[in-house]
Amino acid sequence: MKKSFAFILIGFVALTAAAQKADITLEDIWRDYKFYSRSIGGLRSMNDGIHYTSLDRDGNAVSLVKHSYTDAQKAEKLVDGNELKYNDKPIAIGDYSFSADEKKLLIVTEEESIYRYSSKAVYYVYDLSGKKLEKLHDGDKQMYATFSPQAGQVAFVKENNMFYKDLESGNTVQITTDGEKNKIINGASDWVYEEELELVQAFDWSPDGKKIAFFRFDESQVKEWLMKMYGDLYPEEVRFKYPKAGEENSKVDVFIYHLDNKKLVKANIPDAYEYISRINWTNDSEKLALQTLNRHQNSLQIYLADVTTGESQSIYKEDNEKYIDVPTTEFLATKDQFLITSEKDGFNHIYLYDITGKLINQVTKGNWDVTDFYGVDEKTGLVYYQSAEVSPMQRHVYSIKLNGSGKKQLSTKSGHNDATFSSTFKYFINYNTDANSPHFITLKDNAGKEKRVLVDNADLRKRMDEVNISKKEFLTVKVNGEELNAWMIKPKGFDPAKKYPLFMFVYGGPGSQTVEDSWGSFNYFWFQHLAGLGYMVVSVDNRGTGARGEAFKKVTYKQLGKYETEDQIAAAKYFATLPYIDGSRIGIFGWSYGGYMSSLCLTKGADVFKTAIAVAPVTNWRYYDNIYTERYMQTPQENADGYDTNSPINHVEKMKGKYLLVHGMADDNVHFQNATEMTNALINANKQYEMFFYPNKNHGIYGGNARLHLYYLMTNFIKENL
């Protein structure tokens, strides 16, 4: 009798505790940021391989702190952010970099974003021993200030020209003089290279510190895009060069500047090319490797250029019947060899070549993709990388010998693992998350043995325990002859005897994934908020997405949107057959490529989807940039039908459901034009829709109250229409 009473009491207490859990609010997510996952800011490994530095919050400032990999108690403040001043003015550390001898720092302050990755800033040189702070350069802000390997000079870009400053004499040398806005760029990249090739800093010091190789972009023939920024009596016009599909690109060259004689040498590439996607110095500083792609991006070559004469020869060539993603390349510092990633065997793997282009061996093999490359310890011959070998939905860290033997998995926790290695590769910091858990950051040795926990996010985990959360569950959806990976978040108090409306989240673009066993950040909590309102939330990775090999990813070639939409529609139909899903109430949401997909689903899948939200969608690939679009579609001149057949603009007459179209008016990436042309088509077809635009907001629609406002807008739309 006592046992039974105790059991009932425990059950009652548990139910009461569950009932007292709070619902997640939009203010929790987008105003108060209660669910922010802590990480480690500004992490750098020091030369000795036994210390690292980080930027740590220190009262009202940020300080630079030196830590021991092995001893948690050993920490030294290298720069006290509370005392850092220039001409009695406090200096806030935004970022930093060490000189090669670690005697000086470049401190980044007043950083000003330009596009997705690019920025300009005010830089200071800080002498660590004398605690002396000097401004790098007066006047306009600079870009990408970088120490020479010998620490005596700093190269930077200002107003589209290359400079370097000699720190001993204080003299600044201007390397180029032809830089001009919207015409010539030296040392930095144009908009499309930055966005699609992820080339941002477009210069590099040679290992001997005697030369600087840099890109020169001639974008004078590229057409301009105009955006308006509102706020004053008359709006400000922002003009920049943006090459749309089928349009003219920048003409790109690479030059080598010799500091000793101030000579500029152009790297002469003997064959026709459209893009120079990467440069790499070889180990002797006398040869520069240049990686090129043709316009279709299905033929890649690497040339070796003599830095004195500029003459070059091809050492590597790879062709593909569809396209080639820009590979990772690393030239070894002690040998005439290089590593490169390639999908040539059907999966992304690492290969080792000698400097003449002769294949030595394939380092990694298997029916799985290498997803990141961390580096090679040339003393031990061990390569460190990340892959999806365990599952396309997971990531793990591995080591393997250059000869392809001795592979070892170094990460042990399931989910998504990433790594930052020490300079000597003796230690690494392991960042682990899973679908329902924030960052758990540990220090490990290079055998994978955990030494200590650095960040456990215990406070966030506690806050998560105090609110209603439905675990994200993984499943497989078999449609159109493929088993597609998916996840599901069930409504609060899920009852399988009830029927729930279904809300789908999609991205779906080439090589992307939304279905990973990894932390979903703020959207995860928005989906939890929707689950608390009684919605079933799911996401499906359609054909064309990543980590499942080349064939699965490239099936969408020349017809973006076709197979992806077919899979999303088929998945929605499958979910509608489940006894707890109300098939008459299915909605879909996506942003960017996902907005393109949600728009296609509401039109092509008009009988399946009741509502769709499209944020910053591409509505016709003719309006998007040429590097991304032509990689997957060729040009509109060559593949007009591929562009038009799967444009939602051309299917609006089929639309039956409720449509919310959202766009930032200062979106430099997916232009507001996409929204206006979609609305024109809807008006011409006499289709009613809802639209909301955000003045002065870019592709991310953030800043001020914008994100909270946007998620209120979308949540209310879902509540009213689904």
> Do the beta carbons of residue 289 and residue 245 sit within 8 Å?
no
CA 284, CA 333: separation in Å to the nearest integer? 8
The pLDDT of residue 19: 56
CA distances in angstroms from 409 to 32, 390, 398, 453, 546, listed in the order given? 39, 10, 4, 19, 21
CA 453, CA 430: separation in Å to the nearest integer? 10
Lowest mean pLDDT among 4-8, 66-70, 230-234: 4-8
Percent of the chain whose pLDDT exceeds 70:
97
Mean pLDDT of the chain: 95
Please report whether residue 651 resides in a domain.
Answer: yes
The pLDDT of residue 4: 46
Please report whether residue 465 resides in a domain.
Answer: no
> Do the beta carbons of residue 398 and residue 407 sit within 8 Å?
yes
pTM to 2 decimals?
A: 0.95
Please report whether residue 512 resides in a domain.
Answer: yes
Please report whether residue 697 resides in a domain.
Answer: yes
Confidence bin at 8 (pLDDT 50/70/90): very low
What pLDDT digit, counting tens, does each position of 194-252 carry? 999 999 999 999 999 999 999 999 999 999 999 999 999 999 999 999 999 999 999 99
Tell me how many domains the chain contains. Answer: 1
> Residue 396 pLDDT more than 60?
yes
Is 592 catalytic? The answer is yes
> Residue 1 pLDDT more than 50?
no
Confidence bin at 16 (pLDDT 50/70/90): very low
Is 71 catalytic? The answer is no
What pLDDT digit, counting tens, does each position of 514-536 carry? 999 999 999 999 999 999 999 99
Give the count of alpha carbons within 13 A of 357, CB side only: 12
The pLDDT of residue 504: 98
Catalytic residue among 325, 369, 418, 667: 667
The pLDDT of residue 72: 86
What pLDDT digit, counting tens, does each position of 452-508 carry? 999 999 999 999 999 999 999 999 999 999 999 999 999 999 999 999 999 999 999
Average pLDDT over residues 608-634: 98
The residue type of 259 is L
Catalytic residue among 206, 592, 599, 647: 592
> Residue 132 pLDDT more than 90?
yes
Please report whether residue 180 resides in a domain.
Answer: no
Q: Pick the closest to residue 194 from 219, 220, 226, 163 (CA basis).
A: 219
Please report whether residue 9 resides in a domain.
Answer: no
Rounded to the nearest 5°, which phi and psi values hold at 712? -65, -45
Average pLDDT over residues 283-308: 97
The pLDDT of residue 60: 87
> Residue 424 pLDDT more than 70?
yes
> Residue 301 pLDDT more than 90?
yes
Please report whether residue 662 resides in a domain.
Answer: yes
What pLDDT digit, counting tens, does each position of 309-320 carry? 999 999 999 999
CATH code where residue 504 lies: 3.40.50.1820
> Residue 14 pLDDT more than 70?
no
Percent of the chain whose pLDDT exceeds 90:
95
DSSP H/E element including 552: helix 550-554
CA 436, CA 142: separation in Å to the nearest integer? 41
Q: At CA 133, angle to CA 132 and CA 136, rounded to 5? A: 135
The pLDDT of residue 463: 96
The pLDDT of residue 3: 44
Residue range(s) defining the domain that contains residue 584? 471-721
The pLDDT of residue 6: 41
Please report whether residue 499 resides in a domain.
Answer: yes
Rounded to the nearest 5°, which phi and psi values hold at 101? -90, 0
CA distances in angstroms from 201 to 105, 195, 604, listed in the order given? 19, 12, 42
Average pLDDT over residues 626-649: 98
Give the count of alpha carbons within 13 A of 560, CB side only: 32
Average pLDDT over residues 186-191: 98
